[in-house]
Amino acid sequence: MRKGALCLVTFIVCLLSVGAGSAQEGHPLTGTWIGYWEPTGGPRNHLTIIMSWDGNKVTGAINPGPDAITLGNVTLDPEKWIVRIGAQRKDSSGKIFGIAAEGQLEDLASPHRKLTGTWLDGTIRGDFRLVRD
């Protein structure tokens, strides 16, 4: 019974995925990015990052919702398509941690372009990988 349900779900996901490849030809960072960052040997942390270009700067949030982290300084170096993301988050005690990420934008022409690089959360360093949804 479970196997049958799994089959149906897989099939429906397969169908739905066809319509999801919608093009996006505007600013390369605009959109919703989904992925993770992962310290060396540590647990994988889910990331959803919303970014939007307003003509002067990139604005947005990490993991939107009640505990969203507002993006600070986000820069795009169009010569090499390097993206730098800065933000600050508070832990449950109110202590502030800096977030700094630097990544390479890849597969620029695809709506599902990729952003991969290094992620620093406080003193914990790791890698991150994001795909534009």
Q: Which residues bind other proteins (CB under 8 A)?
A: 1, 3-4, 7-8, 10-11, 14-15, 17-18, 21-28, 30, 53-55, 76, 78-79, 81, 108-109
DSSP code string of the chain:
-HHHHHHHHHHHHHHHHHTT-----S-TT-EEEEEEEEETTS--EEEEEEEEE-SS-EEEEES-STT-EEEEEEEEETTTTEEEEEEEEE-TT--EEEEEEEEEEE-TTSTT-EEEEEEEETTEEEEEEEEE-
CB 4 to other proteins: min, Å? 5
CB 57 to other proteins: min, Å? 11
Nearer to other proteins, 58 or 120 (CB): 58
Nearer to other proteins, 73 or 88 (CB): 73
